Amino acid sequence: MQKQGIDSTQPHFFSAQVAEARRFYLDLTPRPRERLVVACGGLEHCAPDYRIDRRTFPFLSVEFVARGRGSIRLGRKSHTLTPGTAFAYGPGIAQRITADPNDPPVKYFVDFSGREALPLLKRCGLPPGTLIRTSAPSQLLGIFDDLVRTGQSGSAFARPICALLVELLLHRIAETARPTDAVAPAAFATYERCRRHMQAHFLRLGSVEDAARECHVDPAYLSRLFRRFDRQTPHVFMMHAKMQFAAERLRVPGIMVKEVAADVGFADPFQFSRAFKAVYGVSPSEFIARRAR
């Protein structure tokens, strides 16, 4: 990693208050009708005196803190920056970012635009001016590393690949977001505990009521937790886990559908077939036939 000094050829909004950086820029004058285009991005090791104070920004931007600490003010709201924090800003959103001089942040960023960029941020729960904390920082780190590596590659395919990686990144943020308020962490911890238990024991759990009983929560409360943190019902979560296991079993040469149905807790193979088709769009028999072909 090279030292990052002041470089007049780089965008004016790149900070010089960094100890080290890996940055790329692909298209700083994107056409407004493009669907989604990445302008620039990178990884910055902030200096102890790192400070950003802007009234607005020309692109939509997502940043992610990998290590270190600091503070941020987005519009009128102030937040503490800690590892696993992601935040978004853009045109019309004031930003004030300050490093903790004793533990300056190491953070990734990506700036982008396009007609679908803002709707995508909103769908993924990260509209400009908001901040989330992720329950799976390693997943986001992997995507950001791919993004920086691709952006710096000079490949003719760097632009479309980076656009796809931004979409993946935002959906991963949505999938792994956890609440930042003072009350929600206890509820989120309960959700994670229940989800882990259901993932580990989905084969023998016959119903949501069984899962709730073993997790020592009320079934209605379990459903509320999943609607809040998972955007699906616990029944759908368990059914997808069962059908994913079933799909793997159906790959075994010579296996019968009724055997797999029994493996995932269905006494009636026809009921199992309906459930499998609802998830994968084909019946178990069709799935086996397609695999054979």
Task: Give the pLDDT confidence of 263-278 residue by residue, as tens digits.
Answer: 999 999 999 999 999 9
Task: Give the pLDDT confidence score for residue 290 in this predicted structure.
Answer: 82
pLDDT in tens, the chain (293 residues): 333 333 445 666 677 889 888 999 898 888 878 999 999 999 999 999 999 999 999 999 999 999 999 999 998 899 999 888 999 999 999 999 999 999 999 999 999 999 999 999 999 999 999 999 988 888 899 999 999 999 999 999 999 999 999 999 999 999 888 766 544 567 777 888 998 899 899 999 999 999 999 999 999 999 998 887 776 899 998 999 999 899 999 989 899 999 999 999 999 999 999 999 998 899 999 998 887 76
| Range(s) within the chain of domains with CATH label 2.60.120.280 | 18-178
Q: 108 and 62 in contact (C-beta within 8 Å)?
A: no
| pLDDT tens-digit readout, 166-180 | 999 999 999 888 766
Task: Give the pLDDT confidence score for residue 25 in this predicted structure.
Answer: 87
Q: 70 and 106 in contact (C-beta within 8 Å)?
A: no
Q: 186-292: which CATH number, 3.30.565.10, 1.10.8.50, 1.10.10.60, 2.130.10.10?
A: 1.10.10.60
Task: Give the pLDDT confidence score for residue 181 in this predicted structure.
Answer: 54
Task: Give the pLDDT confidence score for residue 228 in this predicted structure.
Answer: 76
Q: 18-178: which CATH number, 2.60.120.280, 2.60.40.3710, 3.30.530.20, 3.40.50.720?
A: 2.60.120.280
Sign of the four-CA dihedral 22, 16, 168, 36: negative
Listed in order, strand segments (DSSP E) in the chain are: 18-25, 37-46, 51-54, 60-67, 70-74, 77-81, 85-89, 95-99, 106-113, 131-134, 177-178
Residues written for the chain: 293
3 state SS of 114: coil
Q: For the whole model, what pTM was predicted?
A: 0.68
Written as six digits, the tokens of 259 are 């055997």
